[in-house]
C-alpha cells in the first residue's frame, strides 16, 4: 500500500494536483478530521512519502469500517475539504465502501466525483482483478515458512505437517503456495472439507509411506485455508491423521498466523503498486472539467483497476458488483486460479473421488 500511496502522491504533485491523505480510513475522516493540532485530513508533500517505497503496511493507516456507519458525516467531510476525486487502496472492505458510495450518489451530491479502487489484500479476493497488491509478498513469506517446515518433515522422514494459511474465504494463497512447495493436498473454502475427502487423503498417506519405506527424504505438507471448514480445523485434521497412522508415521500442525502478512514488500508488489497507482491517477484526470451530472452519467466514473491476463483494465463498479461478485462469500464469482488446484492434486498423486472406495478411501482395484 505504501508504494502505491507514494506513487500516487508523487505523480499528483508532478501534475499540479493537491494530494490529500485521509488517515485511518472512513472512521478517521469522520471522527478526527478536525482534531488539533493534527487532524486526519492532511495535505501530502514529497518529503512525507519519500521513504515509503520499501515499507510494508500503510503509513496513513487502514480501517475496515465502512462509510455507511455515518454516511451524512462522510458526505459532509467530502464537501468540507472539497474533494474532487478519490483514490482508494484496499481489499474487499474497500470494494464494499466504493459500492456504498456509488449507491449513495443520488442522495449525497458530494459523492458525485470520480473514484478509483486499487485492490490491495493478501487474500486476492477483490472482484474485477486476478491480482491484488500484497498477495505476492504474502506468498513469499508463506513459502519460506513452509520450506522450513518441510525441511523438518524431511529430516524425520515419517512426518507430515498440516499448515494453516490465511486468505479469507478465498483459497488463492493456499493453492498457489501448495503448488510452490509441492503440497500433498490443499483444502480451500471453495471446495470445503468432508470426511470422505479426509479418508481418501489418509489412505493416500498410508500408501505413500508404505511404498517409499523411509527412503524418500521429501517431507509431506498439507495446506488448509483457515476458512475451509468450521468443523475440520487444522489441529483436528492433524490429530485424525496421527490417530489413523497407528504409529507408522506422525502428524503435526503449524499455524504461521500473521507471519503471512509479510514484512518488506516483494519487488513484484512494489512495481505493480506503482504502475497501477499511476494509471489510477491518470484515469481520474480524465474526468477533469466535467460536471457532477456528467460524472454520474458515466458508469466508469467509479471503477476498479485490475490485471486480467496480460492486460491492465478498468471495470465499472456497477458492472463488477452485479456480474462478478459473490457477496456472500466475499470473493469473485469466477476465480482464474481454480484450475491450478487440479494441478496440485495431479502432481502429488492425490487420488480422485471416483478412484477410491467411498467407505474406506482405498483405491479401487
Walk across the sheet containing 220-225 and list its strands.
Answer: 185-187, 220-225, 159-165, 250-254
pLDDT of residue 134 exceeding 70, the answer is: yes
Grid coordinates representing 282 are 491518470
pLDDT in tens, 155-185: 766 789 999 999 999 999 999 999 999 999 9
38: left (phi over 0), alpha (psi -120 to 50) or beta: beta
pLDDT of residue 299: 96
Q: How do 331-332 and 325-326 pair as beta strands?
A: antiparallel
Q: What's the whole-number mean pLDDT along residues 338-350?
A: 92
pLDDT of residue 218: 64
Rg (CA), the chain: 24
Q: What's the whole-number mean pLDDT along residues 42-59?
A: 91
| Whole-number average pLDDT of the chain | 91
Cα-to-chain-centroid distance, residue 270: 16
pLDDT of residue 216 exceeding 60, the answer is: no
List, in order, residues 6 or more apart from 246 with CB less than 8 Å away.
none
Grid coordinates representing 151 are 525441511
Residue, of 210 and 325, whose pLDDT is higher:
325
pLDDT of residue 363: 62
Nearest CA to 164 out of 258, 261, 257, 262 is that of 257
Grid coordinates representing 123 are 487474500
pLDDT of residue 208: 83
Question: Residue 217 — very low, low, confident or very high, per pLDDT cuts 50/70/90?
Answer: low
Burial class from Cβ neighbours inside 10 Å (0-12, 13-18, 19+) for residue 37 reads: exposed
CB 121 within 8 A of CB 57: no
For the whole model, what pTM was predicted?
Answer: 0.92
pLDDT of residue 17: 96
pLDDT in tens, 84-113: 999 999 999 999 999 999 999 999 999 999
SS3 category, 217? coil
CA distance 264 to 177: 19
pLDDT of residue 51: 87
Residue, of 102 and 355, whose pLDDT is higher:
102
What is the percentage of the chain residues whose pLDDT exceeds 70? 94
Nearest CA to 349 out of 220, 248, 226 is that of 220
Q: What's the whole-number mean pLDDT along residues 296-314?
A: 96
According to DSSP, the residues that pair with 325 across neighbouring strands are: 332
User: What are the angstrom distances between the C-alpha of 290 and each of 19, 70, 77, 297?
Assistant: 19, 28, 21, 11
Q: What's the whole-number mean pLDDT along residues 124-129?
A: 96
pLDDT of residue 153 exceeding 80, the answer is: no
pLDDT of residue 213 exceeding 70, the answer is: no
Cα-to-chain-centroid distance, residue 317: 18
Amino acid at each position: 500500500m505504501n508504494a502505491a500511496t507514494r506513487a500516487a502522491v508523487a505523480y499528483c504533485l508532478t501534475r499540479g494536483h493537491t494530494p490529500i491523505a485521509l488517515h485511518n480510513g472512513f472512521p478517521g475522516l469522520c471522527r478526527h478530521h478536525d482534531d488539533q493540532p493534527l487532524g486526519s485530513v492532511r495535505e501530502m508533500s514529497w518529503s512525507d512519502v519519500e521513504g515509503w517505497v520499501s515499507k510494508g503496511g500503510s503509513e496513513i493507516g487502514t480501517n475496515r469500517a465502512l462509510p455507511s456507519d455515518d454516511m451524512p458525516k462522510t458526505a459532509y467531510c467530502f464537501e468540507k475539504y472539497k474533494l474532487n476525486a478519490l483514490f482508494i487502496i484496499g481489499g474487499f472492505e474497500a470494494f464494499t465502501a466504493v459500492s456504498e458510495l456509488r449507491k449513495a450518489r443520488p442522495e449525497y451530491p458530494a459523492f458525485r466525483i470520480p473514484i478509483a479502487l486499487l485492490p490491495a489484500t493478501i487474500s486476492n479476493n477483490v472482484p474485477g482483478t486476478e491480482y491484488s497488491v500484497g498477495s505476492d509478498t504474502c506468498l513469499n513469506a508463506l513459502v519460506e515458512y513452509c520450506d522450513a517446515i518441510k525441511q523438518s518433515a524431511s529430516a524425520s522422514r515419517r512426518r507430515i505437517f498440516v499448515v494453516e494459511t490465511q486468505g479469507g474465504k478465498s483459497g488463492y494463497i493456499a493453492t498457489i503456495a501448495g503448488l510452490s512447495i509441492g503440497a500433498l493436498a490443499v483444502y480451500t473454502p471453495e471446495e470445503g472439507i468432508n470426511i470422505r475427502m479426509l479418508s481418501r487423503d489418509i489412505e493416500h498417506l498410508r500408501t505413500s509411506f508404505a511404498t517409499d519405506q523411509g527412503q524418500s527424504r521429501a517431507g509431506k505438507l498439507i495446506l488448509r485455508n483457515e476458512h475451509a471448514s468450521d468443523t475440520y480445523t487444522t489441529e483436528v485434521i492433524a490429530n485424525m491423521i496421527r490417530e489413523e497412522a497407528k504409529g507408522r508415521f506422525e502428524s503435526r500442525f503449524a499455524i504461521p498466523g500473521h507471519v503471512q502478512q509479510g514484512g518488506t514488500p516483494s519487488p513484484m508488489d512494489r512495481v505493480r503498486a506503482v504502475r497501477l497507482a499511476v494509471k489510477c491517477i491518470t484515469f481520474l484526470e480524465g474526468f477533469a472539467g466535467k460536471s457532477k451530472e456528467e460524472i454520474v452519467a458515466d458508469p466508469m466514473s467509479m471503477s476498479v483497476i485490475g490485471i486480467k491476463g496480460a492486460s491492465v483494465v478498468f471495470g465499472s463498479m456497477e458492472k463488477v458488483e452485479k456480474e462478478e461478485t459473490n457477496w456472500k462469500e466475499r470473493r469473485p464469482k469466477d476465480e482464474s486460479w481454480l484450475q491450478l488446484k487440479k494441478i496440485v492434486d495431479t502432481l502429488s498423486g492425490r487420488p480422485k473421488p471416483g478412484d477410491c472406495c467411498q467407505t474406506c478411501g482405498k483405491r479401487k482395484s
